[in-house]
Amino acid sequence: MGPDRLDRFLALSAELTAFDVVELAGTGESDAYLATVDRIVGTGAVDALLDAHTAISEPPGQARDHQLRHSMLGDEFLGPLARNVIKLWYVGIWYQLPRSWREVNGARDGDVTFTISANAYTQGLLWPAVGANPAGARAPGWASWTEPPRLAKL
């Protein structure tokens, strides 16, 4: 996979997660997540997802959101893949694709629910999204819990 493909995956992921590319790459998990999706559903399916994203032409705004929902998230084949990408970034876990998807498209090897890596859990976007700290990892410092949550995005 070339860097171009990784860039496209990051651009897609930024739009799906509402985190920017620097924040996503800053988790150190970009390669691992793209490799996971490629491995489980195949590069062809991932390319279809990337192409669908590239094809969204509207500038940022309501029309673009609508296009994204219609052509990607609402698509029976691409929608579950896109939602799995979101979950990867937010919790560092690959969730088994929904039964309806598997029944139509066939079960894939390795499509079981699992945590990508120990580090992926600590890097989940869930934590910065809620201004909290992954339990048991990335020590936040004594008494940090007496401070209000840090919601940098708001």
Partner 1 sequence: MSDTSTNNDTTAKTDDTTSTTAITTIEALHEYLGRAMQLEHATIPPYLTALYSLHPQTNSAANQVLRVVAVEEMLHLTSVANLMNAVGGQVDLTAPGFVPEFPTYLPDGEEDFQVNLACFSPATLETFLKIERPAAAPDEARRLMPARRRTDIMVTAPGDPELRYYSIGEFYAEIERGFNYLHDRHGDQLFSGDPTHQAGPEYYYSGGGELRRVVDIDSARSSIELIIGQGEGVGTGAFDAENELAHYYRFEQLKLGRYYQLGDEPHHPTGPDCEVDWSAVYPTQTNPRVGDLSGFPELQETAVSFNRFYADFLALLTKAFNGEPELLIEAVPKMFEIRNKATVLIRNPIPGSSATHSAADPTPDGPMHAAPTFEMESQ
Binding site for partner 1 (CB under 8 A): 3, 7, 20-23, 25-28, 117-119, 138-144, 147, 150
Kindly state the tokens that stand for 59. 């500038």
How near is the Cβ of 74 to partner 1 at its closest, in Å? 29
How near is the Cβ of 130 to partner 1 at its closest, in Å? 15
Radius of gyration of the chain (CA): 16
How near is the Cβ of 147 to partner 1 at its closest, in Å? 7
CB within 8 Å of 132: residues ≥ 6 apart: 149
Q: Dump strand ranges (E) for the chain.
A: 93-94, 114-115
* Length of the chain (residues): 154
Assess contact for 64 and 53: CB atoms under 8 A.
Answer: no
Between residues 20 and 51, which has the closer beta carbon with respect to partner 1?
20
How near is the Cβ of 9 to partner 1 at its closest, in Å? 14
CB within 8 Å of 112: residues ≥ 6 apart: 94, 96
Residue at 93: amino acid letter: I
In the DSSP assignment, the letter for residue 116 is S
How near is the Cβ of 136 to partner 1 at its closest, in Å? 14
